[in-house]
Amino acid sequence: MKVEEIYAITPDENGWRKLPSGNRVTLGDYVKLGNGVTLGNYMKLGDCVEFGNGVTLGDYVKLGDYVKLGNGVKLGDCVKLGDYVKLGDSVKLGDYVKLGNGVTLGDYVKLGDSVKLGDYVKLGNGVTSLELAEQYRQNYIQSAPEHIFVKWVTKERKSPGWWGATVPVLYKAGSIIEAEGEANDQQCAPGLHVFRMGERPEWHGLCEASHNFIALRVRVKSKDILFAGLPTMDAKLRVRRLEVLD
């Protein structure tokens, strides 16, 4: 049902409690909302969703069925949660975060903008995406001083511009390419984007399966890796500097 005013499922001693809500909110069946809940605009909740107290949701949030949010949870704009997702108390998700089905996050977990976790990922209490991203970087740094990745380019050996780049980069054989960027939990940020060996761009929704892009092997020093991955989000990496081998 679409509603302009939302009243709590369970009344307090003064009767039904009106909750702050935005425009065009859509609720499924058997939704249960705690005290002090704030809902954004254009939000959609599935069936049997349950909120704790003090939950705050941004605009364009979409929650699947049987989602359960603990007390003090805060979701940014355009967050999307799959079915049977469970978030502990005081979890904070940035804008455009997407969680698959059956994901469980402990208390005080914090995920930055645009983080995507696949189905059935489980994170313990106090975990942050910044800490996880650094763990992934350290896995590469500690295993070897350099690694071979794949850079997908056009037939003219230029960057395809999948991540919003406005000036294409030419990847000549034997050349060294450098870019500005910093290590953090953002997969799509300033830097050079590469794939793990064997990964293809169409598998990650970047192009059609019938594309004409070509794969170049590139060498990257471990210290130049800026983003190495997050759980179920580790096929595409972001680096500061690479050497084109092919």
Mark 225-235 as b/e (b = at least 16 C-beta within 10 Å).
bbbbbbbebbe
Rg (CA), the chain: 21
- Flag whether pLDDT at 234 surpasses 80: yes
- Flag whether pLDDT at 39 surpasses 70: yes
Per the rule left: phi > 0, alpha: psi between -120 and 50, beta: everything else, 198 is left
Give pLDDT tens digits for 157-195. Answer: 999 988 766 788 999 999 999 999 999 999 999 999 999
Express as a percent the part of the chain with pLDDT over 70: 89
Distance between CA 120 and CA 83 in Å, rounded? Answer: 10
Q: Do the strands 62-63 and 44-45 form a parallel or antiparallel pair, or are they unpaired? A: parallel
* More confidently predicted of 215 and 24: 215
User: How much is the pTM?
Assistant: 0.85
97, 73 Cβ separation under 8 angstroms = no
Q: In order of start, what are the domains of the chain with their CATH numbers?
A: 1-127 (2.160.10.10), 131-244 (no CATH)
